[in-house]
Amino acid sequence: MSFEEKMNESGEDEKSKRLNISLLRYMWEASPLYFKESYHTFFRNLSVLKSFSDNDIRIFTTYLHRREFETNEAIFKYGDSGYGFYFIHSGSVSIQEPGGEEIVHLEKSKFFGELALLDEGHRRPATAIATTPTVLLGIFKPDLDKMLESHPVLGAKFVHESAMILANKIGHMTKEIMALRRKLEALEKKN
């Protein structure tokens, strides 16, 4: 699909476009000549948004919320109602069990909380805590609804990417469960 087609698909008519300064800025920031890190370069480097064009990323970033967290500040707690999907722009996050035991440690460019966007009445299955001063870029359920309303193609792409993340996680979990089952069976045989 050509760039023009993508532009038309996401609701932009090339004929009607005047000089769009913000678009030019993002195109400049996306170019190899530009080194300073921006939201655009941040998302350009994320593998989960690989199907997004530059223009898609430009629109996508308008739906994001920047949240700053101090060291040891809770992002969300186990059992909280969840509505947001977060990308780590800088800093690090520890995902913990209710008892405080760490499940996974996430660094810059990682993401978490994607289930909250797709699940109705979602409750957080773990606690997330910032382990250093952290900047997160979050997208929330109302933002996704608005995106699906105003930019349906982009919204569908993002839902698809989120579903792919979940599918990958389920695939990993299935493999782990099978490996554990094999270990259990081996132990049972030994005994």
Partner 1 sequence: MKKNQIVKVYLFFAILIAALAFMVKFPRLTLPFGFSYILYLMINPVASRILRGNNQQRIIYSLFFTACACLLVVPLVATLYNAETDFKQLLKHIPELRVKLQFKYLQFRELFIDKTGVKLSLDPVTYIMRNVESQGANLLSSIPTLVSAILEWMLLVPLFLYFFFKESKTLKVKFMEFIPNSIFEKTYVLFSQFNTKFGEYIIAKFIEATILGSLVTLGLILVSFPYPFILGIVAGVTNILPYVGPIIGFVPAIAVALLSQNPDVTLLSATLIYLIANAVDMVLVFPLLVSKIVNLHPILVVVSVLAGGQIGGAVGMIVVIPMVAFIQLLFKEIYQDLNAQ
The binding site for partner 1 (CB under 8 A) comprises 8, 11-13, 15-16, 65-70, 72-76, 79-84, 123, 140-142, 149-150
Q: Which of 112, 142, 127 is nearest to 48 (CA)?
A: 112
- List the structure tokens of 46: 């994320």
Least separation in angstroms between residue 88's CB and partner 1 is 15
- CB-nearer residue toward partner 1: 135 or 159: 135
- CB-nearer residue toward partner 1: 84 or 91: 84
- CB-nearer residue toward partner 1: 152 or 171: 152
Least separation in angstroms between residue 153's CB and partner 1 is 12
| Radius of gyration from C-alpha coordinates of the chain | 20
- CB-nearer residue toward partner 1: 30 or 147: 147
Least separation in angstroms between residue 140's CB and partner 1 is 6
- CB-nearer residue toward partner 1: 30 or 91: 91
Least separation in angstroms between residue 187's CB and partner 1 is 36
Least separation in angstroms between residue 71's CB and partner 1 is 10
